[in-house]
């Protein structure tokens, strides 16, 4: 069904809605459109601060599909065929927008910003001016993931692009106490090679700090495997990381880089998570499991490097992660399982170590560390970074 409509308008007219409802006989305001690349399904996902939140479903010719929400430019589902041809949703997520705003859900699938990960003491200095941020972690010591002004709880504007969607958010100068009016675009492209490409672009009218990532929680056995430790049978390889940043007791880098050799953090060759996660290591104790920033060998800010390969023996699904960012957080969801969390899509509460995250980023607290590349976006420059999640299935 092709409707005569303006795909660049960012909304649908009431006439379009009535026509779609009549044709599809839907009671949940499900709309179907044809964008330049194929089918996009759109539906209402809730309301936040009197603004409607929308959910889009992209699909490719291989049976892979992705759900994207305007709230937080968030990935809420990734469905891929397993080795038996069954469709498996490999990304944890929730069924409505209020689950993401009213409860702690660990930023599931969201676009993280203005600055991903932690800033120690919630302060930084830029161009001779000191900035004080909200301290939302570690008993009021650190700022993390944008705190209450994080990008993952903002309702973004949307537009259709070839093979995907583009989401736009304009951060006002002083919002969250970060400087600059910053226009941020996050574009998701789903290819017929089963790649979900995420492109981050931004411009500012004042020098600022910007460190963007995606915070998807993956379980390649299927998101319904929500039990504690259900991700520990996954096999992980981090082929481009010979070093990691050593953490303080509040999981902020001390500035020391340590070689992974002879440590539980050595995943240069594939290893099963359960064989490493409970080893007697002070850094594992600090993170209550894997929650570490890895450095990427060969990083130059331009070329895309494969930084992670994750495999489920049960489904045969493999996730590969590529990026042109300098590091990534490898996290085994050690702090999920709070009783205040809403139930996930399958009606189960996600427990700790029921998933894992690979979050490409600038190093945590890099803005305050002289030896780390600083995540500074200057006026007149353009921020352009990429993350690619790609999927293969072993037959």
Instruction: Give me the active site residues, please.
Output: 215, 359
Measured in residues, the chain has a length of 395
Give the whole-angstrom CA distance, residue 308 versus residue 328: 9
Q: With contact defined as beta carbons under 8 Å apart, do 288 and 335 qualify?
A: yes
Cis before 114 (ω within 30):
yes
For residue 17, the number of C-alpha atoms closer than 13 Å in the C-beta half-sphere is: 9
Parallel/antiparallel/unpaired status of strands 271-272 and 235-237: antiparallel
Q: For residue 157, which phi and psi values (nearest 5 degrees)? A: -75, 160
Strand, helix or coil at 308?
A: strand
Q: Write out the two tokens for 269.
A: 């060759």
Which single residue is written with the structure tokens 């069954």?
86
Q: With contact defined as beta carbons under 8 Å apart, do 53 and 71 qualify?
A: yes
Q: With contact defined as beta carbons under 8 Å apart, do 349 and 225 qualify?
A: no
Strand, helix or coil at 140?
A: coil
Question: What are the b/e assignments for 332-350, b being 16+ CB within 10 Å?
Answer: bbeebbeeebbebbeeebb
Strand, helix or coil at 274?
A: helix
Cβ atoms within 10 Å of 161's Cβ, excluding its own: 18
Q: With contact defined as beta carbons under 8 Å apart, do 79 and 65 qualify?
A: yes
Q: Write out the two tokens for 182.
A: 């910053």
Alpha helices, DSSP H only, in the chain? 14-24, 97-101, 282-287
Give the whole-angstrom CA distance, residue 200 versus residue 1: 32
Give the whole-angstrom CA distance, residue 131 versus residue 280: 38
């Amino acid at each position: 069904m092709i409707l005569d409509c303006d795909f660049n308008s960012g909304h649908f007219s009431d006439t379009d809605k009535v026509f779609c409802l009549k044709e599809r006989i839907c009671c949940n305001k499900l709309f179907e459109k044809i964008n330049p690349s194929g089918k996009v399904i759109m539906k209402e996902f809730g309301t936040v601060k009197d603004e409607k939140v929308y959910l889009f479903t992209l699909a490719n010719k291989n049976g892979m599909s992705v759900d994207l929400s305007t709230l937080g430019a968030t990935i809420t589902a990734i469905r891929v065929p397993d080795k038996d041809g069954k469709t498996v949703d490999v990304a944890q997520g929730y069924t409505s927008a209020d689950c993401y705003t009213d409860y702690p859900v660990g930023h599931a699938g969201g676009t993280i910003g203005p600055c991903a990960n932690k800033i120690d003491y919630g302060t930084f200095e830029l161009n001779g001016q000191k900035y004080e941020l909200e301290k939302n972690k570690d008993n009021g010591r650190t700022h993390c993931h944008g705190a209450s002004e994080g990008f993952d709880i903002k309702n973004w504007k949307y537009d259709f692009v070839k093979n995907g969607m583009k989401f736009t958010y304009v951060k006002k100068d002083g919002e969250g106490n970060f400087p600059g009016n910053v226009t941020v675009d996050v574009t998701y492209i789903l290819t017929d090679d089963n790649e979900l490409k995420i492109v981050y672009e931004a411009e500012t009218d004042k020098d600022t700090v910007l460190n963007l990532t995606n915070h998807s929680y993956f379980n390649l056995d299927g998101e319904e495997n929500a039990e504690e430790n259900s991700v520990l049978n996954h096999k992980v390889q981090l082929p481009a990381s010979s070093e990691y940043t050593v953490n303080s007791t509040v999981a902020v880098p001390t500035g020391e880089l340590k070689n992974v050799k002879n440590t539980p953090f050595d995943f240069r060759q594939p290893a099963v998570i359960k064989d490493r996660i409970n080893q007697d290591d002070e850094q594992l104790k600090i993170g209550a499991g894997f929650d570490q920033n890895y450095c990427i060998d060969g990083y130059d800010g331009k070329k895309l490097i494969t930084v992670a390969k994750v495999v489920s023996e049960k489904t045969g699904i493999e996730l590969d992660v590529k990026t042109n960012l300098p590091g990534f957080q490898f996290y085994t969801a050690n702090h999920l399982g709070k009783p205040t969390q809403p139930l996930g899509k399958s009606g189960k509460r996600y427990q700790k170590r029921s998933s894992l995250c690979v979050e490409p980023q600038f190093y945590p607290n890099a803005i305050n560390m002289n030896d780390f590349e600083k995540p500074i976006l200057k006026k007149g420059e353009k921020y352009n970074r990429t993350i690619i999640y790609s999927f293969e299935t072993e037959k």
